Every structure is written in C-alpha cells, then in structure tokens.
C-alpha cells in the first residue's frame, strides 16, 4: 500500500524526514496548510493593491537593488528574471537523494503560510516529489545568505519550464518534462520567485542527510570498535560504569554501556591478560565515540528547529498585518553546527584509523599486516595507508566554513554564513568516515580469525558471519579494493535497527 505523508502546520521531525525518504512516501497538503497558503496569498495581493509604500522583493528589486521600484505590470517578469539570473551553479551535481530532501523541506517551509506563494506553485513542488522528478542542482554557488539562492534557483527553475531535470534515469530539459507529464508551466505571481529562492533548504537538506548518516555510522562505530577491541585482545575495564558515572556525559555513558553489551559472552575478552592498559584508541572509545554521539544529538536538535521554520524574506504575517524584511534566510544557525558535526565525524574516522594501525602492527600475537605469511605477502598493509589518506583529507575539510564571510551584492549583503560550504564539506566528511569504518571492519574481521578457536560474543559472531557472506578471510595477497567496496556496501545493507533487534 502506498504511504502518504500529509504536509501540515504541525511539527516535522528528522525521524519522520528519514522515514519519508527511506520508504518513498507520497506527499499531500493538509487542509490547514492549504488554508494558510491561500489566506497568505490573498493578504499579499491585497497589500500590493492598497500599499503606496514599496515592499522589498515584491514591488522592488533585490539585494542592493532594493531601492528600485517595479511597476505592477512587471511583477511577474521580475520573479522569472530573478530565477534565471540566480541560476549560476557550478561543480558536480547535488545527489538526487539530497535534491529530494530539498524539495520536501521547501514544501514544508512554504506550507506555514508566511511566504506568499500560490497554492498551485506548492502543489507542483509536490508533483515533483511524488513523481521522482529531480531538478539538476549544482553543489557550488551558495554563500548561505540570502539563503541558498543559487541551488534553489536551479531547484525551482523547472516549475516554470526552465532548467533541467532527471526523470526515470534520463536527463532532460524541464520544458520536455512538463510536456511529457502534461503539466503547464507555473506562472509566478509577485514575491513567489523570492519565496522559492530565499531560504535555507539546500543547507538544511545536506544537514538532514548528514545527521541521518552520522547516527547510523555512530552506531556502527561501536560495533566495529568492539570487534577490533576483542580481536586485539583489549581490556574491558575501561568500559566499567563506575568509571563513567564520575564523568557522566550522556554519550560517554551510552557508549560504555553499549560496548559492554556488545561484548557480553565473549571468550576472548575474558581471557587473562598480562598487561593493564590499552592504547588510547581502544581505552578511550567511550570518551571519543561518546562525544560524537553528544554532537550528533546537539546538531539534530538545532536542525529540528530549522526544518520547521519559514526562512525566506520578507516574512508575510497576515495575523499581524505585517510584511517584514528581515534575515531569517541567514544560515548561521545551522552553519556552525554543521562545522561542529564535521569535526565530530572526522574524529570518529581518526580514532578508527588508529585502531586499524594497531591491528596491522604485528603486536599481541597478531601477524604483521594480518596475513599468515608476511614478506611474500603484504596483506593488509596498504588498507591502513588508504584509511590514513582519507582521514587526512577529512581533517583538511574540517576547517570551519562558518568563520568566513565574503560580502556580496555591492555590500548590501555584507555578512554571509557560508553554510552551504559547511554542508557540502560535511557531506564529504561523512562519506569519508563511512569508508574508514568499513576498512576497520575489514581488518577487525581478519584479525578475529587469527584468534580461533576462541569466539567473540554472540552479537559479534553473528555480525561477522553475515559479513563473511560478502567478504572472505584473506589467506594470501589478492586485489583488495573490491573487498573495501563490499565492506562499504555492507554498512548500507545491514540496518542497524535490525541488528540491534535481532542480536
């Protein structure tokens, strides 16, 4: 049965966003949203007709052109010109899954009835979402205020039959898509182009995608780290609750408890050890993984506010009889958290790479580079090189974008957030972290096999058994990159919620 999500003035959670995208929900406007959109538009039309005072972006130009009044017979053309002139994107394409998030978040923002869009404009965005029409949007171009002007211009150009889209795997011009679907181009009314372009939905979409992935990877990191710990014959004492209750950060407590749960019943962990400490990359898993968990929670909390906000300009407030030009388009509220999340995810990969290094180092009874006959075989030597290269790149990407600002629009827009750059850098760091964790899993499973016949915990034995269906034990040198790719795919295919429930 087709699943439908009703867009309303109610609260949209990040969990719901994930569910809508993952389960391919269709969207429809609720009655309350329809009423709010129509009411706002009628109010705006009335104010334009009655007002002798210029209204920014409605009866004036944009940015530093705000003092130029536009005749009523040119208001529609003003909006079309805005969209065409602002479509200046460069670089690679925004992935379709993030484009779909952009459309969802733009619909949600417009549904509150503070933007002045017509009902048919919002409904056409819903048509795009429900029919998997992906406007071609480019990663580069937004400075993060006035919102995401450039990527949102590319996102919304197809509404009026301009720009390009991808539909059913084919790239085509938007006019051809509209003809194929039997849709008429939207005729924009006053203020609509600005409402469509002047928001934070590009930044917010990258942020939503990154939080969803970061949550999964943070969970995976505990399982993979626990496997590495046991394969390295690490100590369980650093995970004792008594240690963490005296420094009770929630993420630290949660991580210690989770590792203890995952390793319950391991024969290896209960073997007597002749050493009293592990390297920090094992001993400090609760502190580092825990800080990542706390960061993800914080960024999710901020993003939850952002995706339920109206972020275009001016804000149309029928209840207060006001049209206010202000700054809700400024991306700073999520730019800084995205920079923070990039740092956290980079650190998750950083500590993972250090565990990989220990696993291949030929210590604690493990063979050098995790191969039975080192020398003639290099084994897993270069997997650590690859992880190190990826981690180094992520460290470079963690220079905060939000500390930069380059004035635009002849100085009228003299402080910008660079939030879109924060989002695209975060996106790359998240992908890098996934690859490093996959490499650690590749190494940890290999190391575990050298501990046989001892067994790890039932949870991890089940995990490794599933992993071994796609990645074998490496007996002698082989071409390695396909197994790294399969390891990455394994992190996608194994749903963490199912793993927790089954094990």
pLDDT digits (tens, 9 = 90+) for 164-178: 999 999 999 999 999
Q: Which residue has the tokens 């008594």?
A: 242
Measure the CA–CA gap between 124 and 111, rounded to whole angstroms: 13
Active site residues: 56, 86, 198, 280, 283, 329, 413
Phi, psi of 178 (to 5 degrees): -60, -40
**CA–CA gap between residue 185 and residue 138 (Å, rounded):** 22
Residue 503: predicted pLDDT: 36
Average pLDDT of the segment spanning 47-54: 79
* Helices 201-231/419-449 angle, 10° precision: 20
Q: What is the model's pLDDT at position 1?
A: 79
419 vs 417: CA distance, rounded Å: 5
For residues 402-417, average pLDDT: 93
Note the pLDDT tens digit of each residue in 218-236: 999 999 999 999 999 999 9
CA–CA distance from 463 to each of 220, 262, 497 (Å)?
A: 11, 11, 13
Say how many C-beta atoms besides its own lie within 10 A of residue 2's C-beta: 7
Domain 206-310+342-498 indexed as CATH 3.50.50.60: no
Task: Look at residue 61 in the predicted model and tell me its pLDDT.
Answer: 58
Q: What is the CA radius of gyration of the chain?
A: 26
pLDDT band at 48 (very low <50, low <70, confident <90, very high): confident
Q: According to the model, what pLDDT value does residue 52 have?
A: 74
Lowest mean pLDDT among 71-80, 172-181, 188-197, 206-215: 71-80
303-345 pLDDT tens trace: 999 999 999 989 999 999 998 989 999 999 999 999 999 999 9
Looking up tokens 């600002």 gives 405
Lowest mean pLDDT segment, chosen from 256-260, 371-375, 488-492: 371-375
Structure tokens at 62: 């944009």
CATH topology of domain 4-199: Fumarase C; Chain B, domain 1 (1.10.275)
Rounded-to-integer distance, Cα 311 and Cα 326, Å: 10
pTM: 0.95
Mean pLDDT across the stretch 400-416?
A: 93
Looking at 61-65, 321-325, 374-378, 387-391, which range is the least confident one? 61-65
Q: How confident is the model at residue 375 (pLDDT cuts 50, 70, 90)?
A: confident
Per-residue CA distances from 369 to 282, 356, 362 (Å):
19, 10, 7
Domain residue ranges in the chain:
4-199, 206-310+342-498
- The pLDDT of residue 261 is above 70: yes
As to burial, measured by CB atoms within 10 angstroms (0-12 exposed, 13-18 middle, 19+ buried), residue 166 is middle
Q: CB neighbours of 345 closer than 8 A, spacing ≥ 6? A: 210, 214, 217, 292, 394, 426, 429, 430, 433
Q: What are phi and psi of 408, to 5 degrees?
A: -130, 175
Q: What is the mean pLDDT of the chain?
A: 94
pLDDT tens-place string over residues 181-193 = 999 999 999 889 9
CA distance 165 to 169: 10
Same fold, 4-199 and 206-310+342-498: no
pLDDT at site 502 = 37
Instruction: Over range 86-91, report the average pLDDT.
Output: 97
pLDDT for the residue 501: 45
């Amino acid at each position: 049965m087709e699943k439908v999500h009703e867009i309303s003035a109610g609260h949209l959670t990040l969990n719901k966003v994930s569910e809508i995208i993952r389960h391919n929900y269709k969207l429809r406007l609720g009655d309350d949203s329809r009423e709010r959109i129509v009411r706002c538009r009628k109010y705006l039309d009335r104010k334009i007709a009655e007002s002798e005072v210029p209204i920014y972006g409605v009866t004036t130009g944009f940015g530093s052109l705000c003092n130029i009044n536009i005749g009523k017979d040119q208001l529609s053309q003003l909006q079309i010109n805005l969209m065409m002139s602002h479509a200046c994107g460069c670089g690679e394409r925004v992935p379709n899954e993030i484009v779909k998030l952009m459309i969802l978040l733009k619909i949600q923002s417009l549904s509150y009835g503070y933007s002045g869009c017509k009902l048919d404009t919002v409904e056409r965005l819903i048509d795009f979402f429900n029919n998997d029409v992906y406007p071609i949007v480019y990663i580069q171009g937004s400075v993060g205020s006035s919102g995401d002007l450039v990527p949102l211009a590319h996102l919304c150009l197809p509404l009026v039959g301009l720009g390009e889209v991808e539909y059913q795997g084919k790239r085509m011009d938007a006019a051809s898509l509209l003809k194929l679907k039997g849709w008429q181009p939207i005729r924009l009314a006053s203020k609509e182009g600005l409402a469509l372009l002047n928001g934070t939905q590009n930044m917010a979409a990258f942020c939503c995608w990154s939080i969803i992935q970061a949550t999964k990877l943070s969970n995976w990191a505990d399982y993979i780290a626990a496997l590495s710990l046991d394969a390295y014959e690490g100590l369980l004492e650093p995970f004792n609750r008594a240690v963490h209750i005296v420094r009770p950060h929630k993420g630290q407590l949660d991580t210690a408890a989770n590792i203890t749960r995952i390793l319950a019943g391991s024969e290896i962990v209960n073997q007597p050890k002749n050493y009293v400490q592990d390297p920090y990359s094992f001993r400090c898993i609760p502190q580092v993984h825990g800080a990542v968990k706390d960061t993800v929670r914080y960024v999710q909390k901020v993003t939850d506010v952002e995706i339920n906000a109206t972020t275009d300009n001016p804000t149309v407030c029928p209840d207060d009889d006001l049209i206010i030009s202000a700054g809700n388009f400024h991306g700073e509220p999520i730019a800084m958290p995205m920079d923070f999340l990039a740092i956290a995810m980079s650190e998750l990969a950083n500590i993972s790479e250090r565990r990989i290094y220990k696993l291949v180092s030929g210590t604690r009874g493990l063979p050098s580079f995790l191969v039975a006959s080192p020398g003639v075989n290099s084994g897993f030597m270069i997997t650590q090189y690859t992880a190190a290269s990826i981690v180094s790149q992520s460290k470079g990407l963690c220079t905060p974008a939000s500390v930069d600002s380059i004035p635009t629009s002849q100085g009228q827009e003299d402080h910008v957030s660079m939030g879109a750059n924060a989002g695209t850098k975060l996106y790359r760091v998240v992908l890098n972290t996934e690859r490093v964790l996959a490499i650690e899993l590749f190494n940890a499973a290999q190391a575990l096999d050298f501990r046989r016949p001892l067994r790890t915990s039932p949870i991890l034995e089940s995990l490794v058994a599933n992993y071994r269906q796609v990645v074998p034990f490496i007996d002698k040198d082989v071409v390695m990159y396909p197994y790294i790719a399969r390891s990455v795919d394994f992190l996608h295919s194994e749903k963490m919620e199912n793993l927790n429930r089954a094990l």
